[in-house]
Amino acid sequence: MAAKLNEIILHNTLSNRVEPLAPIHPGEVRIYTCGPTVYSFAHIGNFRTFIFQDVLRRFFRLRGLRVLQVMNITDVDDRIIHNAAAASVPIREYTEKYVRAFLEDIDALHIEMPEELVRATDHIDDMVTLIEKLQAKGLTYSSDGSVYFRISKFPDYGKLSKIDVSGMQAGARVDVDQYEKDDARDFALWKSPKPGEHFWETRIGMGRPGWHIECSAMAMKYLGDTIDIHTGGVDLAFPHHENEIAQSESATGRPFVRMWLHSEHLIINGQKMSKSLGNFYTLRDLFAKGYKPSTIRFLLLSVPYRRQLNFTEDGLVQAKNSVERLRNFVARLKAEQFAAGSNPEIEKRIEKAEGEFDAGLADDVNTARALAAIFDLVRDVNAAMDRREFLQQNAPRTVAAMEKFDSVLALLVDDDDEKLRLLGIAPRKPQLPVSQIEGLIEERNAARRSRDFKRSDEIRQQLSDSGILLEDSKDGSVRWKYK
RNA sequence: GGCGCGGUCGCCAAGUGGUAAGGCAAAGGUCUGCAAAACCUUUAACGGCGGUUCGAUUCCGCCCCGCGCCUCCA
């Protein structure tokens, strides 16, 4: 299916095909995103998914759509309760550190804050209310103080993941939690506490919410019974999203989500990322190894979201150099002097690129196509500049186009060192104050004017040792940038 | 086994029923005091076997290979 003019098509897991986006509320897209479980630092794979939904929402906004996005933070689950108990701290205190780290991480990657970032533990009452609704409809049963959803009461179960649950016999599998269930397929809405575990005292008894109910409760609270888009990693389609559908649609009698968007996983050097293989990276691990936030953002967004991304050292190098090319281009546009006038051919060329960029993203967020549109433009405009066919009035227009692209990509601003500093990661090179950098450049210019190239090269080397690269341009000006 | 995602130049990755974008890397050149940046040129790819078709990388079938999910998991 090809997108019609101005149409945005997206692959819907529910139908397993691409469909045009048609928001329920005209002009506004409502999105629910499964956020992190804060039992530890988020890993690089998580951020692939988060960067995908970030690109998605940024593209919607570029299209003039309003975005209302809710992301949950799962700050209660078995691992959190276990780890907090082991550390002898309240769960809120235990998770706080990782919530903060997550916020810092998404900031470093230029992932926009969703309109609502909500914590599960702030919505226990909403979950209890939803469970009561299901209980009132006779869709649940209790066992040892826990409440389960009876899947046999929801005939559509499996419609998202296309998993045939009829083969999952009662008792065929042992639930990891060792709770008593009537049917292996049933899942917990509410879990009774084991001795010493954290619990809430509620109308449905003591305990804590199941994982799935929190997303249903929070999604519907903020976005309504039926929401436009629900995003998450492919692994969540079953059982998490399937269970969300069962609970939500049973409670409301209405479709829960119109479009399910699932991003494929990241694999590392061709293998699944796992702790046992020792290829498990957090963002901070990569930053500590010297990789920049913008490098990681580029790599993670450059591969379309429905394609598995093989994360390699080589890929990082390629990503870094690609970002450099884009930044060099904008720096040249801003620094170089061009002859007066405006070349209408350039204007047309920019419009073509804008059209291609938009068409790429409108085609199921095909970031590879969108990037190709930009790189095509970069090459053509660079060539025009070299041929002196690029004129003064073309520059602001071209910069504006690049900034428009960057409202989605968020790669151009060179704030990598600043972001790393915010994370407490020291720069690898000694930092020079800008005034000193500029002073040294001035001194080097003087040396060059007097053809003292030995001195001029010394200064260039000195700056290079501090992580500063110089570029002498044709018109005599000197640009500098961080490596 | 069921359900998915893939296999396109050295690497990453678009795309199309009429022999194929873009990025990175490589080689040569232009520019430069030298670099850097940029540009130009060059190199080079559709897993295999059948089928449909005038014609398939693109559609269909089978096979091979990689990865994922099938109640921890983005």
Report residue A140 as tokens: 């649940």
Tokens of A94: 């235990």
Q: What is the pLDDT of residue A185?
A: 82
CATH numbers and ranges of domains, chain A:
9-263 (3.40.50.620), 287-415 (1.10.730.10), 434-482 (no CATH)
Cα A454 to its chain centre, rounded Å, is 48
A227, A219 contact by CB (below 8 A):
yes
Asked if the model's pLDDT at residue A149 lies above 80, the reply is yes
Question: Would the pLDDT of A131 be above 90?
Answer: yes
Task: Please give the average per-residue pLDDT across A367-393, as a whole number.
Answer: 95
**Site of tokens 């296309």:** A162
> Is the pLDDT score of A1 beyond 50?
no
Q: How confident is the model at residue A35 (pLDDT cuts 50, 70, 90)?
A: very high
- Which tops the pLDDT comparison, A474 or A145? A145
Task: Decide if pLDDT at A16 tops 80.
Answer: yes
Residues 10-49 of chain A with CB under 7 A from strand B are 16, 34, 36-37, 43, 45-46, 48-49
Tens-digit pLDDT profile for residues A55-75:
999 999 999 999 999 999 999
pLDDT of residue A428: 65
A359 contacts A3 by C-beta, under 8 angstroms: yes
Q: Residue A312: pLDDT above 60?
A: yes
**Chain B positions with a protein C-beta closer than 7 Å:** 2-6, 11-16, 21-25, 31-40, 66-74
Which amino acid is present at A446?
Answer: A
* Distance between CA atoms of residues A347 and A339, nearest Å: 16
CA–CA dist A451, A264 (Å, integer): 57
**Closest C-alpha among A153, A144, A115 to residue A28:** A115
Q: For A230-280, how does the pLDDT look when each residue is reduced to its tens digit (9 = 90+)?
A: 999 999 999 999 999 999 999 999 999 999 999 999 999 888 887 767 788
**Is pLDDT larger for residue A181 or for residue A367?**
A367
pLDDT band at A467 (very low <50, low <70, confident <90, very high): confident
Of the given ranges (A24-38, A119-133, A161-175), which has the lowest mean pLDDT?
Answer: A161-175
State the ipTM, two decimals: 0.95
pLDDT of residue A175: 42
Q: Are A228 and A23 in contact, with CB atoms under 8 Å apart?
A: yes
Q: Which nucleotide is nearest to A314 (CA to C1')?
A: B11
Residue A178 has pLDDT above 70, yes or no: no
- Region A20-29 average pLDDT: 96
User: Which pLDDT belongs to residue A195?
Assistant: 87
Provide, in whole angstroms, the distance separating residue A19's CA from nucleotide B16's C1': 21
Tell me the C-alpha distance between A399 and A406, whole Å: 10
Q: Is the CB of A125 under 7 A from strand B?
A: no
pLDDT for res A366: 96
Fill in the amino acid letter for A75: D
Average pLDDT, chain A: 91
Q: Which residues pair with A201 in a beta bridge?
A: A206
Q: Name the nucleotide nearest A471; use CA and C1'.
A: B36
